Amino acid sequence: MFTLLLTPPEFIPDEVQILEQLFEAGLTTLHVRKPNASLEQIEDFIRQFKPQYMKRLVLHSQYQLMAKYNIKGIHLTTHVWEELQEQGQLKEYIRPVQRRGLTVSASVHKFEEILKMPSKLDYVFLSPFFDSISKPGYKAAISPEVVEDFVFNNSKVPPIVALGGIEQNNIHSLKNKNIAGVALLGSVWQAPSPVEAFSEIHTALSS
């Protein structure tokens, strides 16, 4: 299982410095999710990273920047992929991006949505697995055991990445359940030390 991290939705002080420490601690993929940020703000943000770390960034918006910077990939939000699917252009949109060597992932919340996805997607975020840490009131809705059965019975679906309330205390329940990886948010950014929190979860996942 691999470990991903999402940025806080808003910019925070010393964010790039903290993220570079997280990269040094073993983070290989950072999802840049800033839903209210402008093109200029996102571009200014990613330009602050050293080249070796920029290659670990996945953009949730402002996709045009993938033509300008050496990033890792793009992530299709629910609104984006639903619109592309309605237009019959989802597969056609994904293919040229992946041919350029970039990853393409997407957000889903239901198993039926996963079945609509092209199997060539690098992975999908499925949420929420546990009560959200960053979104109070956003309750658990996904069972690891149900995921295990779903993947077993649908072999051609994209790899599933668990999102929502994932922390060190519940990470063990996701192992050996046909879950490809986990995406972290609140458990890292709401911790006194984001680097220590990430390292503890990353180590627990690897053990």
- Render pLDDT for 144-198 as a digit per residue (tens, 0 to 9): 999 999 999 998 899 999 999 999 999 999 999 999 999 999 999 999 999 999 9
When pLDDT is averaged across residues 10-23 and rounded to a whole number, the result is 97
pTM: 0.95
pLDDT averaged over every residue in the chain: 94
In the DSSP assignment, the letter for residue 65 is G
| 8 Å CB contact between 125 and 179 | no
Per-residue model confidence (pLDDT) at position 110: 93
pLDDT tens track for 100-117: 999 999 999 999 999 989
What is the Cα–Cα distance from 8 to 186, expressed in whole angstroms?
A: 8
String of DSSP letters for 40-101 = HHHHHHHTTS-HHHHTTEEESS-GGGGGTS--SEEEE-HHHHHHHHHTT-HHHHHHHHHHTT
Per-residue model confidence (pLDDT) at position 11: 97
